[in-house]
Amino acid sequence: MLGSMPPPPEVTATLDRGERVIWSGRPRQGLMLRGMDAFVIPFAVVWTSIPAYGAWMTLKGSNSDPVAVLPVLLFIVIGLYMLIGRFFVDAAQRRRTSYALTSQRVLILSGLWSREVRSLAVSTLGEIDVSARASGWGTIMFGRSPYPSMTIPGWPGSRRYVPPMFEMIPDVNDVAKLIRDTQRAAKASERD
């Protein structure tokens, strides 16, 4: 059965006169691994361990100069972010994300430091891709990304390179059906 949560105040604040919420939800919460992590985690281990080993060997030497290690710290910090930090940033971004399907629009409210509202007219939605798991959780993408395998969740600025989406929502196939039904109703009302 399709579960919709009551729309949060920030969703209802964006509604136009006469617009009603048909469905609202949020992405899966908490820390999580994704398919891309099978590549990113080993890469981050190598990225971090080589400069860390070099810094250790420099500091261990008898004529060690701690200042010589400072440029290498940037690589270590980036590597630690890829290994650990991005998971917490991704979880924080999803915690501050809300989705809504209204009688007129698809709304995506997100943003870690500031609030961003993406609004897509239901009647003009183009391609809708649904990826679902056996559990019923999945993602609905509105359009295609030119860089689908190059975006790393939690990496600064990576959301620019992916199309708008309802990411990791429960009952994804039911929500996709609601979107299609709403599209048909919106197009029918435009013809009248």
Q: Determine the distance from the C-alpha atom of residue 128 to the mean position of all C-alpha atoms in its chain, rounded to a whole number.
A: 17
Kindly state whether residue 2 falls inside one of the protein's structural domains.
no
Kindly state whether residue 144 falls inside one of the protein's structural domains.
yes
Q: Residues near 61 by Cβ (< 8 Å), separated by ≥ 6?
A: none
Average pLDDT over every residue of 169-179:
96
Average pLDDT over every residue of 30-40:
90
Structure tokens at 126: 């183009």
Domain hosting 123: range is: 9-27+97-191
Amino acid making up residue 150: M
Backbone phi, psi, residue 107, to 5°: -115, 135
Strand-by-strand arrangement of the 138-142 sheet: 128-132, 138-142, 165-169
pLDDT above 60 for 97: yes
pLDDT digit string, tens, across residues 130-142: 999 999 999 999 9
Percent of the chain exceeding pLDDT 70 equals 89
Q: How high is the pLDDT of residue 157?
A: 66
Structure tokens at 5: 């949560």
Alpha carbons 62 and 58: distance in angstroms, whole number: 9
Residues 102, 67 within the same domain? no
CATH of the domain at 114: 2.30.29.30
Alpha carbons 67 and 102: distance in angstroms, whole number: 57
pTM for the whole structure: 0.82
* Residue finishing a domain among 69, 91, 113: 91
